[in-house]
Structure 1
Amino acid sequence: MRPRIRGGRTTVLAALLSLTLAAPIAAAQAQDTPPSRPAPGAAQSAEVPRQYEVTGPSTPTERTALTSTGVSIDEVHTRAVVITATRAQAAGVRQLGYGLRTLPAPPKDTASPHKPRVNDFPAGYTKYHTYDEATKEIDALVAKHPDILSKQVIGTSHEGRDLLALKLSKNVTKDEQEPEVLFTAHQHAREHLTVEMALYLLNEFTSKYGSDSRVTKMLDSREIWIIPDLNPDGGAYDIASGDFRSWRKNRQPNAGTDEVGTDLNRNWDFKWGCCDGSSTNPGDETYRGASAASAPEVKVVSKFVHGRKVGGKQQIKAAIDFHTYSELVLWPFGFTNDDTGPGMTQDDHDAFATIGKNMAATNGYTPEQSSDLYITDGAIDDWLWGDQRIFAYTFEMYPSSFGSGGFYPKDSVIPKETARNREAVLQLLEIADCPYRAIGKEGQYCKGS
């Protein structure tokens, strides 16, 4: 996840926080004053990180510097950000001269205080799917629609859970010469709404094929791939106690330390660790891993994408990686502030931006280049474009802010907030055969398409 709100958007955070922050903030802050960040080998994984409002950072450079403390940035406003941090990391942010306010902890299951719903979502969130529930629903859909939906196990997670790739197409058992589009979800464990987004797409495409002309045309002329859960281990850990743990990374141990987890969306093998856009500390929220694609989940999906090359030509033309939160449509690059970094021409950039803005116009998200907010390296959309020339986007889904639910919006929002992206997804599918058509240059780039 790289959750953000466009820097120029009117800041409403202060008003939201005034309604949610309780009086004991000063006491909470007093607990957040360790003298410095721990050494890489020091254990802090057992601590549930907290979110904080940080007042002051207002430029991409300042926000990038903020990430050097090991925090993840969850929201961006004109002169404030929301971060996730341990107590030690919060102290490091204060040492940079910024003021912090501690935000309320993740929701707890108050319905059954003596019998928590272990390994399940708390009350108010039970319509979210656990890994097992999602797998059961997927299997039912495959059984019901075998002519247009198939399932592949493309590998396993660190803890041995199957990583699935679902294919949707008219002749689903054949590998046809059709443009392919990839949708991925749940790189970050606490972003459970993204799994619901993947399930929505599976249900929408299977139920509307043959009755909805646009859906039918896309399945007749595209091969659609959905990887619904890149981080099943982290997702299971986030809810294992019956309360949310605000867990972000996977569950892979880090050799030589007591720390667990790699930030999957800093582990992809393009500009990995290049540009101060990730952390070398295994205890940090944005730990990039021991090496590029060292996380088993990243390795599996990388191999799958590479496997979609036919005759040296990548068949996947476009992609969306779903995250939460902040309501953004983002495109590469994240590792550089340049609009046209290495490997991207002006026409490439213009096509990215035009398609991104068109999609954002349908769902009300804010469109921008990833690095407009701060630098990230080793992210999936940079890898998909930089390594594979796939027009790849990141969608930061609902809500827009911590005050509206942050990483844990109630399950009542699932139908509306997944359907909200239907038009954007269809637009990307429709232009995937020739993205340069968005800037009127299909004759130059897509002859014969």
Structure 2
Amino acid sequence: MRASRRRATAALSVAACLLALPATQSAAEQRHGSGSGTDRGTATATSVYRITDTDSRTRTEIQRTGALVLSLKGDTAFVEADEHQVRRLRSAGMRLSRAAAPSSGSPHRAAPGDFPPEDSGYHTYSEMTEEVEAAATEHPGIVDRTSVGRSARGRDIPAVKISDNAGTDEDEPEVLFTCNQHAREHLTAEMCLHILRRYTDNYGSDPAITDTVDSREIWVVPMVNPDGVVYDVGGTYYRGWRRNRESAPVDLNRNWGHKWGCCGGSSGSPNSPTYRGPAPFSAPETSAIRDFVESRVVDGTQQLTGHIDFHTFSELVLWPYGYTTDDTAPGMTEEEYRRFASIGRSMAATNGYTPMQSSDLYVTDGSVNDWMWAEHGILSFTFEMYPSSGGLDGFYPPDEVIQRETSRNDEAVSILLEESGR
């Protein structure tokens, strides 16, 4: 299965060399299934490089050239860059070596919008909505299906509430789990669906699960970026797509309002994969999550006390702030930073991830974690899931790993749910 899977991801080695597709497929592509591409707005060819001996400062410099850090293993970064960016990086004294590309191959898709047959364990957008509906039907007392809004292309963004009296807004700590802000990170949607199944199917039989559901209100949003997800799997090959599907696609995790565009941690160019959009919350997807979070302010108190935003990949646990390399900054005291670090390290000890402040990876501005904490005091973390390192193919692990890599985070999720009540 793994060899077959690698044939399916092989197109990524050529995808980076092709023009990013327009909002709708061309007639030629519809007929022949040709023309995959990553979400850069130019026809400039890109490749994946390995850069050793990096630190937060050098990785931030890499991002500011327009190159994209794909993953981090120790101090080695895997970077997607075009020739111009490579020249800039080398002139800055960085040593780059070309990372091995997957072998070539031509996968067959069962139908447009489906994962390849060998990856059928992943959920498409429609399959995700069916699973959400099924959970609400099978567990009516503890599951309430709702919506946080609609995407740029008009798709519903479902949310699920899990609690012992799901239809009632009780005075209990609330925790939010969000997945798939970045389209190609499909393992994250499986993570949210795993949380949904774990806290519903085991209710009443597992004492710890039952106690958590009885004492918390758990919110799960499996696909924040449904348009991007559908587009990424909608052609002959995986497209390596990251952003949403507006006419000028936006990196949703650079579009949040706190310190938006402040510090060189995002791009103002619509051609960049880290394009932050024309204004904070300009993307309908981020504004929908914002409105939901703000709706949880009851009698002046934010009910949400914890949050994890799942991404892939690098196996990291990250906490705010991302916009500054300082541990403490306005809105973050030393005591609060120590609590973030303590919880982050405790969670990482259970799943084998590496814990760090977000800016220790590289500086980002307009991120969800910074906004959640600075604006609402929510303990907000990012998990970068499996694999630990790699190039573009790291976004597309085989479906055989789904159960292992989602259950790997069970204890960490439990820790945050416990901490949310303190």
- TM-score, normalised with respect to structure 2: 0.86
Equivalent residue number for residue 163 of structure 2: 169
Contact map agreement 2:49 2:80 (CA 8 A) in 1: no
CA distance in 1, matches of 2:387, 2:400: 13
Equivalent residue number for residue 58 of structure 1: 54
Contact map agreement 1:326 1:399 (CA 8 A) in 2: yes
Match of 2:288, SS state, is helix
CA distance in 2, matches of 1:351, 1:358: 11
**CA distance change for structure 1 residues 185 and 79 in 2, over 3 Å: closer, same or farther?**
closer
The structure 2 residue matched to 1:318, chosen from 306, 324, 338, is 306
Contact map agreement 1:185 1:322 (CA 8 A) in 2: yes
1:348-370 per-residue CA deviation (whole Å, 9 max, x = no partner) reads: 01111111111111111111111
Match of 2:175, SS state, is strand
1:376-416 per-residue CA deviation (whole Å, 9 max, x = no partner) reads: 11110111001110000000011101179511100000000
Match of 2:185, SS state, is coil
Matches within 5 A, 1:407-426: 407-426=395-414
User: What is the deviation of 1:52?
Assistant: 1.4
Structure 2, gaps ≥5 residues long: 1-5, 7-13, 19-38
1:209-235 per-residue CA deviation (whole Å, 9 max, x = no partner) reads: 011111101110100000111001111
Equivalent residue number for residue 175 of structure 2: 181
Equivalent residue number for residue 272 of structure 1: 260
User: What is the deviation of 1:47?
Assistant: 5.1
User: What is the deviation of 1:124?
Assistant: 2.4
User: What is the deviation of 1:79?
Assistant: 4.8
CA distance in 1, matches of 2:142, 2:105: 40
1:37-63 per-residue CA deviation (whole Å, 9 max, x = no partner) reads: xxxxxx953759755124255221121
**CA distance change for structure 1 residues 354 and 51 in 2, over 3 Å: closer, same or farther?**
farther
CA distance in 2, matches of 1:71, 1:428: 33
1:91-137 per-residue CA deviation (whole Å, 9 max, x = no partner) reads: 5444544444444557877453xx66421112421110000011111
The structure 1 residue matched to 2:217, chosen from 216, 223, 243, is 223
Contact map agreement 2:143 2:162 (CA 8 A) in 1: yes
Contact map agreement 1:198 1:227 (CA 8 A) in 2: yes
The structure 2 residue matched to 1:358, chosen from 346, 349, 368, is 346
CA distance in 2, matches of 1:141, 1:322: 21
Equivalent residue number for residue 150 of structure 1: 144
User: What is the deviation of 1:308?
Assistant: 0.2
CA distance in 1, matches of 2:247, 2:214: 44
Equivalent residue number for residue 26 of structure 2: none
Equivalent residue number for residue 380 of structure 2: 392
CA distance in 2, matches of 1:85, 1:430: 42
**CA distance change for structure 1 residues 47 and 138 in 2, over 3 Å: closer, same or farther?**
farther
1:319-368 per-residue CA deviation (whole Å, 9 max, x = no partner) reads: 10000001111111111111111111111011111111111111111111
Matches within 5 A, 1:10-409: 45=41, 50=46, 52-56=48-52, 58-86=54-82, 88-103=84-99, 110-112=106-108, 117-254=111-248, 261-402=249-390, 406-409=394-397
1:121-163 per-residue CA deviation (whole Å, 9 max, x = no partner) reads: 1242111000001111111111111100011122100011101
Match of 1:342, SS state, is coil
1:14-38 per-residue CA deviation (whole Å, 9 max, x = no partner) reads: xxxxxx9xxxxxxx9xx89xxxxxx
Contact map agreement 1:329 1:366 (CA 8 A) in 2: yes
- TM-score, normalised with respect to structure 1: 0.81
Q: After the TM superposition, list the runs of 4 or more consecutive aligned residues in structure 1 that deviate by more than 6 angstroms.
A: 106-109
Farther off after superposition, 308-317 or 77-86: 77-86
CA distance in 1, matches of 2:110, 2:79: 28
**How many pairs were matched up?**
389
Match of 1:128, SS state, is coil
CA distance in 1, matches of 2:45, 2:382: 24
Contact map agreement 1:147 1:170 (CA 8 A) in 2: yes
Contact map agreement 1:73 1:83 (CA 8 A) in 2: yes
**CA distance change for structure 1 residues 407 and 286 in 2, over 3 Å: closer, same or farther?**
same
User: What is the deviation of 1:83?
Assistant: 1.7
**CA distance change for structure 1 residues 221 and 48 in 2, over 3 Å: closer, same or farther?**
farther
Q: Share of identical aligned residues, percent?
A: 47
Match of 1:262, SS state, is coil
User: What is the deviation of 1:78?
Assistant: 5.0
CA distance in 1, matches of 2:163, 2:102: 40
**CA distance change for structure 1 residues 107 and 241 in 2, over 3 Å: closer, same or farther?**
farther
**CA distance change for structure 1 residues 289 and 165 in 2, over 3 Å: closer, same or farther?**
same
Match of 1:334, SS state, is coil
CA distance in 2, matches of 1:186, 1:250: 10
Match of 1:124, SS state, is helix
CA distance in 1, matches of 2:239, 2:100: 13
Match of 2:129, SS state, is helix
CA distance in 1, matches of 2:189, 2:264: 29
- The one-letter amino acid paired with 1:287 is Y
**CA distance change for structure 1 residues 290 and 117 in 2, over 3 Å: closer, same or farther?**
same
User: What is the deviation of 1:299?
Assistant: 0.4
- The one-letter amino acid paired with 2:405 is E
1:232-265 per-residue CA deviation (whole Å, 9 max, x = no partner) reads: 11111111103111111111112xxxxxx11100
Contact map agreement 1:48 1:246 (CA 8 A) in 2: no
CA distance in 2, matches of 1:237, 1:106: 22
Contact map agreement 1:238 1:246 (CA 8 A) in 2: yes
Contact map agreement 1:333 1:371 (CA 8 A) in 2: yes
Match of 1:298, SS state, is helix
Match of 1:152, SS state, is strand
Structure 1, gaps ≥5 residues long: 1-19, 21-27, 33-42, 255-260, 435-449
